[in-house]
Structure 1
Amino acid sequence: MKKVFHKISAVCMAFVVMFSAMSFTLDAHYCGETLVDFSLFEKTETCGMEKMQTPEPCEDSVSEKSCCSDEQLVIDGQKDLRTSFEQLTFHQQTFVAIFLYSYINLFEGLDENIVPFRDYSPPYLIQDVQTLHETYLI
């Protein structure tokens, strides 16, 4: 039960971190006071009222305010969690370089297969332990 609780809490904390660092934009198109279209990932479509207005010369007509409006709600995530490698100090860059060098050289193979016990013989068997304790593998 304890392992299940730990796994559930770890997944919940991962989602909290992911959603707090994520930013998104919500676009909405209003025609008057009525919401016509909204979109989370792409630009909203208009209701077509802008196309119905005929273009007239500016001198002859009085410009009226359009009844349509576009609103954009931007929700920014936390910028603290995103680290960039351009802001590393000299000591941090040195640490990263040394760590990568030692990590890559960690997995180099040996020139020959060294067996440290090749020159030593196994000890003599004085008594058979399986027969002594009467344990047999079937």
Structure 2
Amino acid sequence: MFSTVSFTIEKHFCGDVLVDVSVFTEAQKCIMGAFETDQQTIRKKICCKDEVNVIQGQDNLRLTSFEDFNFQQQLFIASFTYTFISVSQGLAEHVIPHKNYSPPHLVADIQVLDQVFII
């Protein structure tokens, strides 16, 4: 899957110093780069530069169908699918025997009456 993904790496340099590196988005410009774009008519030499590296993914994919596999591969895929589906099916609902019973009504707190405390 990763061989088919294309992405870009954008780097922004101010002079020889690397200011920002970003993947998938535009790199942040430094303050000098923003100043130079405003004052571009005054200056002819710009010290900031952008470098963009494009990494291309694979374009040609080989699509196969179930009939392209030999009999042993088809048998393995079918048995694996059947086993995976049968194992991952939900179990029977867990029965809680005391679900409908309420706890007994406490008349008094025994620990306080007996003055027994865990310290």
TM-score using structure 2 length:
0.45
From the CA coordinates, give the structure whose radius of gyration is larger. 1
Higher helix share: 1
TM-score using structure 1 length:
0.39
